[in-house]
């Protein structure tokens, strides 16, 4: 039956996935079983008991007590089984085991921000160690988003002004897709993230080496990496095409009119200000929808973005 599972459901990448799938397949199988019986009998009866002539009179049948008991008691038992089975799984999913590592997740239009126990942060890419209970504490900065990882069989809304939580224990190293599963505006379908499950050593190395890689990479290359991984790509194109924000192509050295009536020259200071205080100057024709990157980008990363924009002729 494993081919059927692979065809119908995503990879089981967490400790709880198999339990969900068995219940899901049980309910699906049950539904198919009863559909076939009901539809089959319907067809059969239409043929068998059809009216055969104008003189045929329908016999007078009121009810059949035994039959009614059977079709009441069997479904009742089945839904009771489904209820307790589902309730058990629900409780397991609701309550994170003690000894869980805690990661805070902030959703905002249109990106995911992760904060690890040691204060390290990342955007749109969550790294977790394999075989480790991870408790996710969710909130949102603007509207309702939803944290959805099909491979882990977890989904929970991120609600502004409130904390919600979920937990998982990833069992298989690899990269898994994170979706936003609640319509949250223009960039909803772009609000994607990656979950990288790696060995304990790999995870610790990543926490540290993020920085080492940063230190050695040429600035424009680093800038491109940030554009790709930190959510810039959602709104800023590299082709000159207009997005939710201005394209980065060819803007270096230009003068742009702002909604407050001033004109800003695109140079190092302007780019830096736009990253850290995006609401300060909004270019005419655009909305002030960009979140601040204060505390999210190190100095060298900002320099990288500046160098990268400079290189986009």
Interacting residue ranges for ligand CUA, rule: CB under 6 A: 107, 110, 145, 180, 182-184, 188, 191
Query: Smallest distance, Å, CB 310 to ligand CUA?
Result: 32
Query: Smallest distance, Å, CB 292 to ligand CUA?
Result: 18
Query: Smallest distance, Å, CB 253 to ligand CUA?
Result: 35
Query: Smallest distance, Å, CB 150 to ligand CUA?
Result: 15
Q: How far apart are CA 36 and CA 301, in angstroms?
A: 61
Please, which residue, 147 or 270, has the CB nearer to ligand CUA?
A: 147
Structure tokens at 152: 């882990």
Contact partners, residue 276, CB within 8 Å, separation at least 6? 292, 293, 294, 302
Query: Smallest distance, Å, CB 123 to ligand CUA?
Result: 14
Please, which residue, 108 or 236, has the CB nearer to ligand CUA?
A: 108
- From the CB of residue 58, how many other CB atoms can be counted at a distance below 10 Å? 7
CB-count exposure of residue 70 (10 Å: 0-12, 13-18, 19+)? exposed
Please, which residue, 110 or 252, has the CB nearer to ligand CUA?
A: 110
Q: Are 153 and 84 in contact (CB under 8 A)?
A: no
Please, which residue, 223 or 243, has the CB nearer to ligand CUA?
A: 243
Please, which residue, 165 or 204, has the CB nearer to ligand CUA?
A: 165
Please, which residue, 19 or 291, has the CB nearer to ligand CUA?
A: 291
Contact partners, residue 267, CB within 8 Å, separation at least 6? 252, 253
Query: Smallest distance, Å, CB 180 to ligand CUA?
Result: 3
């Amino acid at each position: 039956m494993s081919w059927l599972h692979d065809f119908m459901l995503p990879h089981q990448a967490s400790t709880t996935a198999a339990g969900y799938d068995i219940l899901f397949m049980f309910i699906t199988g049950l539904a198919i079983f009863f559909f076939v019986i009901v539809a089959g009998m319907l067809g059969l009866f239409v043929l068998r008991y059809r009216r055969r002539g104008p003189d045929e009179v329908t016999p007078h049948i009121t009810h059949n007590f035994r039959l009614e008991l059977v079709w009441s008691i069997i479904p009742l038992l089945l839904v009771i089984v489904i209820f307790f089975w589902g309730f058990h799984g629900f409780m397991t999913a609701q309550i994170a085991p003690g000894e869980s590592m805690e990661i805070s997740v902030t959703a905002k239009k249109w990106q995911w921000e992760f904060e690890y126990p040691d204060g390290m942060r990342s955007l749109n890419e969550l790294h977790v160690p394999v075989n480790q209970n991870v408790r996710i504490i969710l909130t949102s900065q603007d509207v309702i988003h939803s944290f959805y990882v099909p491979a882990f069989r977890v989904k929970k809304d991120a609600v502004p002004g409130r904390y919600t939580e979920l937990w998982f224990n990833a069992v298989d190293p690899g990269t898994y897709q994170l979706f936003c599963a609640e319509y949250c505006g223009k960039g909803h379908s772009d609000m994607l993230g990656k979950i990288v499950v790696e060995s304990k050593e790999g995870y610790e190395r990543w926490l540290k080496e993020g920085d080492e890689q940063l230190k050695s990479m040429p600035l424009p290359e680093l800038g491109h990496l940030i554009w790709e991984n930190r959510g810039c790509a959602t709104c800023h194109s590299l082709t000159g095409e207009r997005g939710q924000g201005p394209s980065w192509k060819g803007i270096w050295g230009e003068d742009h009119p702002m909604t407050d009536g001033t004109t800003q020259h695109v140079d190092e200071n302007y780019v830096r200000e736009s990253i850290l205080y995006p609401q300060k100057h909004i270019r005419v024709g655009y909305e002030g929808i960009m979140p601040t990157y204060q505390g999210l980008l190190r100095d060298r990363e900002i320099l990288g973005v500046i160098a990268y924009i400079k290189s986009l002729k």
